[in-house]
Amino acid sequence: MFGAKKLPELARSLGKSLSEFKKGRDEGDASDEKKPPSAPPREPAGGEPIDLAGSRIPMPVQTVWHGLATMGSMGFTLVGCTFLGLFVGYSLDRWLKTSPCFTILVLLFGIAAGFINIFYSVAAHGRRSA
């Protein structure tokens, strides 16, 4: 998968990505400094937010890719919490020499934490798209 020929290419693309990220962040910081602080937007009766001057504020467009990224991150969160709980429980069992007690207990806590995180992510995504 990652041979000796692929590692320099991977490092080069990672470096380019980081430099683009830093450039975008710096441009965003520069544009934030130029704008004067304003009051929070008001919601008109139609549901579209407007600023103090009465002009409409553009709403972010939700794309299919945004939804797929959100769903993918939820899956990684659930799997990550589950494996973290499994690893911590197994490590505690080996250290304290208690057979499957902590493995099962902490694994269940990890699974519960993953589902709670998914619940909060879905609730936040519903508020953003509503």
Per residue of the chain (130 residues), what is the pLDDT tens digit?
556 676 677 777 777 777 777 777 777 656 655 555 565 555 555 556 666 666 766 666 667 777 788 788 888 999 999 999 999 999 999 999 988 999 999 999 999 999 999 888 888 777 766 5
Cα–Cα distances in angstroms (integers) from residue 1 to residues 8, 10, 15, 16, 98, in the given order? 14, 12, 20, 21, 38
CA distance 2 to 5: 8
Predicted local distance difference test score (pLDDT) of residue 13: 77
Strand partners of residue 42: 50
Predicted local distance difference test score (pLDDT) of residue 61: 64
Predicted local distance difference test score (pLDDT) of residue 37: 57
